[in-house]
Structure 1
Amino acid sequence: MITFMGRKVKTLYDFEKLDDNEDLEFQADIIFLLGKLNKKYKSKILVYARQFTQSNNDYKRDRAIIVLGWIGKGTDTNILENHLLNDTNSNCRAWSASAYMQMWFRKENDFLKTKAFEAYKSALPNESDYFVLSVIFSALREMDILDLEYLKLLWVSWTLKN
């Protein structure tokens, strides 16, 4: 037994603590750390991350979305799109936009670029949070989806509209 974040666990990979723990922030922190540090249990971590994206707790959801960006698969883009377009928490929407970019950094391909562009295109007309918008614009630029001049025009037209 070791003590981790004030709790007794068998190992740092004590997945039972994710199932049996009512402390949502503890669960969120554990999945975040596992996603960042451990590739050995990637498939098991992904199961929890996908499950945690459905949580009512904003912090737990945002940590899970970030993990999907780090280690998720192309099939997880549907989860990201859902949160980008429908999540009531702006951080969850922003991290969903960022997660596409994180996936693309790991494996640059046209599928991810296309999925990201479609999601961003759907999100932009209705998004009002400046942080979410800045993440979307940064992702568009980093992924070479749109050039800087076009992004400036998008930003100006959005600010005039709102």
Structure 2
Amino acid sequence: MNDSRKEEIDKREKSKIYCQNLTKEELQETYASLVKENFPDSKRIHFIADLGRSPEIAFHFELICNDWEEGTDLNFEASFDQHGQAGINYLLETLNQEEVESQRVLIVYLLAKILSKARHRDFYAFSCKQVLPVLISLLPSSEASNRRKLIIALGWIGSIGEIEILGQHLLTDQDALCRAWSASSLMQLSFHQVKKEILMEKTKDLFCEAITEEKDLQACALMIEAAQVLFGKRWIPTSAVEKLEIEKIEKARKSAIRFLKK
């Protein structure tokens, strides 16, 4: 091992030890100074990394909740996955105690996002099974903005049993974006807990019906884009989806339907 490599490893180890020994008071002091400086990006990003490596899980979550409440988008949740299983357990306990639906949706969404990064961890499958019943129970009563989050989360932690739920929202949800995100989440299942071949077999008719019947142009474009990723096709360019180019979307719709009907 050369000297520069050894120095880098030593530096990382010292940084890890430093963060593991950070107290709540020290983190609060740093946070207070960031508030005064209006959260400059470089210092904020460094602080977020320190939060994730620190033992102060409750304080970290407190800052995340403040961020949600104030809509400041400071992204404190970005490093919460670094707390590992201890962080998951803390969020599950908090979820069980929380009674406000909107807050429960945000916690479920955060849990699903974290778990989507932890597919290789031994706690992944069991934790998904703990979160899924809560997520599914929230879906019917949630307003559209919350439902969108839950549908996206379902794509991250859902299994083969959730294909039907996403299919229902794909075809019948009153909100166009919920229908669109249902298509995206069906595609996302192939990157997580459902084998691609099984997913293709079970969703081909769903995608065909949804793309055929969809009246909202943006939702239709997003459905086509999700289907082409899942089925390995090139019906529509991303630029046409972003710019909502009617002619290209309708042409892609015809190509997608022709393929999906085979």
Is TM more than 0.5 here? yes
What amino acid maps onto 2:107 in structure 1? I
Superposed CA deviations along residues 55-107 of structure 1, whole A, max 9, x for unmatched, are 24112211111111001011101000100000001111111000111001234
Aligned to 2:95: 15
Equivalent of 1:128 in 195, 215, 221: 215
Instruction: Answer yes or no: is the 8 Å Cα contact 1:65–1:96 preserved in 2.
Output: yes
Instruction: Answer yes or no: is the 8 Å Cα contact 2:212–2:253 preserved in 1.
Output: no
Instruction: Answer yes or no: is the 8 Å Cα contact 1:113–1:145 preserved in 2.
Output: no
Query: For structure 2, which runs of at least 5 residues remain unmatched after alignment?
Result: 1-57, 69-88, 116-123, 237-248, 257-262
Aligned to 1:34: 111
Count the aligned residue pairs: 152
Instruction: Answer yes or no: is the 8 Å Cα contact 1:53–1:64 preserved in 2.
Output: yes
What amino acid maps onto 1:142 in structure 2? V
Please state how far the C-alpha of 1:27 moved relative to its aligned partner.
Answer: 2.1
1:102 and 2:102 are equivalent in the alignment: no
Give distance in 2, aligned partners of 1:63 and 1:81.
16
Give distance in 2, aligned partners of 1:155 and 1:122.
11
Instruction: Answer yes or no: is the 8 Å Cα contact 1:53–1:62 preserved in 2.
Output: no
1:83 and 2:169 are equivalent in the alignment: yes
Give distance in 2, aligned partners of 1:148 and 1:59.
29
Aligned to 1:71: 157
Indicate the RMSD between aligned Cα atoms, in angstroms.
2.8
SS of the residue aligned with 1:33?
helix
Please state how far the C-alpha of 1:11 moved relative to its aligned partner.
Answer: 3.4
Aligned identity (percent) is 26
Instruction: Answer yes or no: is the 8 Å Cα contact 1:28–1:59 preserved in 2.
Output: no
In the superposition, the TM-score normalised over structure 1's length comes to 0.79
Aligned to 2:48: none
What amino acid maps onto 1:81 in structure 2? G
Give distance in 1, aligned partners of 2:129 and 2:254.
42
Query: For structure 1, which runs of at least 5 residues remain unmatched after alignment?
Result: none
Instruction: Answer yes or no: is the 8 Å Cα contact 1:32–1:63 preserved in 2.
Output: yes
Please state how far the C-alpha of 1:45 moved relative to its aligned partner.
Answer: 0.9
